[in-house]
Structure 1
Amino acid sequence: MIQSIEYVLYAALIIACVCSLFFSFKSRRSLDAHTRGVSGARMNVSMGAMLISLALIQMFIFSGSTLRVVIGALFLVLGAFNIFAGLRNLTLYSRQRP
């Protein structure tokens, strides 16, 4: 059971990293401001998912030392904020259809 959770968390981490990289390149290379904003918002959501999966890996897979739990909680809060900010920006940019 723990092994399958570990595989799911590592797969989520890899997928989030790849999506974050893709949207980062797309955001930086775009000339259109709307496309840049949407790609940046999607990059924030991907980074938030990456940070949350890192936090879950830190908290549940490894032994529970105090430092690991504090860093995991910090990553969890930062990831949740990134997801919130990315979704907020994504809704704002989706309302401004060019």
Structure 2
Amino acid sequence: MVNALQWVFGTLIVISCFFSALYSFRSRRSSDVRLRGLYASRMNISMGLMLVFIAFIQMFMFTGSSVRVVVGALFFLLGLFNLFAGMRNHSHFARLLRQ
């Protein structure tokens, strides 16, 4: 069971890392400011998910030391901040693209 969860979280981390790099590349290569912001917000969402998945691995998969729990909690909070900021920016830039 634990081994299966490690594989699932590991796969989710790799996928979210891939999408984060993809949207970062697209954001830097885009000439339109609205598309650049949209891709940057998607990169923030992907990075936030990646940090949340890393935090889950840190806090739930290994034996609990206080340092590991604190680092996991920091990754979780930073991931949630990136996730919510990316979602807010995504709605803003998507609305700009519709106009």
TM-score range, shorter chain: over 0.9
The residue that corresponds to 1:69 in the other structure is 69
3-state DSSP class of the match of 1:64? Answer: coil
**Aligned partners of 2:94 and 2:27: how far apart in 1?**
15
Pairing 1:58–2:58 present = yes
Pairing 1:31–2:45 present = no
Q: 1:86 Cα deviation (Å)?
A: 0.2
**Superposition TM-score, scaled by structure 1 size:** 0.97
3-state DSSP class of the match of 1:63? Answer: coil
What count of residue pairs does the alignment treat as equivalent? Answer: 98
Q: RMSD of the alignment, in Å?
A: 0.8
Question: Which amino acid is 2:31 matched to?
Answer: L
Structure 1 runs (4+) deviating above 4 angstroms are: none
Q: Which structure 1 residue ranges, 5 or more long, are not aligned?
A: none
**Aligned partners of 1:44 and 1:24: how far apart in 2?**
9
Deviations 1:13-68 (A, max 9, x none): 00010000000000011111011000000000000001001101111112110000
3-state DSSP class of the match of 2:76? Answer: helix
3-state DSSP class of the match of 2:56? Answer: helix
**Superposition TM-score, scaled by structure 2 size:** 0.96
